[in-house]
Structure 1
């Protein structure tokens, strides 16, 4: 069964004033992987930014959606540093700051009438990722459990594709490419972002690392 996938990050001696730099740092690592060597790739830009007060039931006090195509004259606003600076201009202890970006992942074809099985077709499609920084008082201080920053990858299907049938060679290759991209992002964060700890986890609590290892063993 598909599950929500998250990566939580904790920093040593973390303070609210350091949140913008921490967010920009993680966004830059994501952009490095998402652009996949393409200098002018739109995947290196912020798609949307929000500031949510108190807890997740509240409406955003700040929200902006960026245009990253030919309709955008310069695209300067969606550059990571500019988007983070604008969204976090007013830092509050009880606010979460959310940034949406995209990357290409191989996805199983779930079009109406298609069956997920041995001969499932896979397509390279944009996938949404949310990178969120938490003020220490947001949602009753839940950042102690959720992380000072949390990355929401959406459903784990691109990495742990579950089917009762054996997967074919093409599906195995696509899943492995997705896993490699996820691991590359995680390793860049470890190397460049000064974190003290991290946790890759699923909403159900099922140990993802074991699922990934089992999947890669079946593939190889």
Structure 2
């Protein structure tokens, strides 16, 4: 029904565009209702919206559902990960690290007795592609958060932050903090002019719109 109505709508809009006339809304509705009653079209549209994911494809939904089933695999490591003193974060990763720190408590939570509520998790750590899995599990009470999905989602955010070095580990070669290797204070001042002189004569000069200084 929705497909028939859409076909009529597109044909009428093409005619309007072809003749360069204004859209007559009343006339357009009259033509559409020849294909199906307005109320029926609206009902059909609501049905389609309820059945078709708005922001993701079926493969993505299936992939995330499969990841959630791995919760029991990662659960034994959550306490070790969340309580680890080896992890630190730059400003861009502090929120992710705080979410990771909260995972041990979530793992101990008896969610069947006390469902997890949205206010008890960090919504900023749930990207659009994860929102349905985290907030709309039909097997949970209305308004409850899927703890397993949220935990796996946060672990995904941690992995991303590690790749971007917003979260880092020490000691580590691969996941260490690259900022820790930067010179500061007297050590930087001692080599600053030599470094900048070399920079000014290199091909990198064309990349920047302004010339850096030792103080910058």
- TM-score w.r.t. the length of structure 1 is 0.21
* Greater radius of gyration (CA): 2
The structure carrying a bigger helix percent of its residues is: 2
Where relative contact order (Cα < 8 A, 6+ residues apart) is larger, the structure is 1
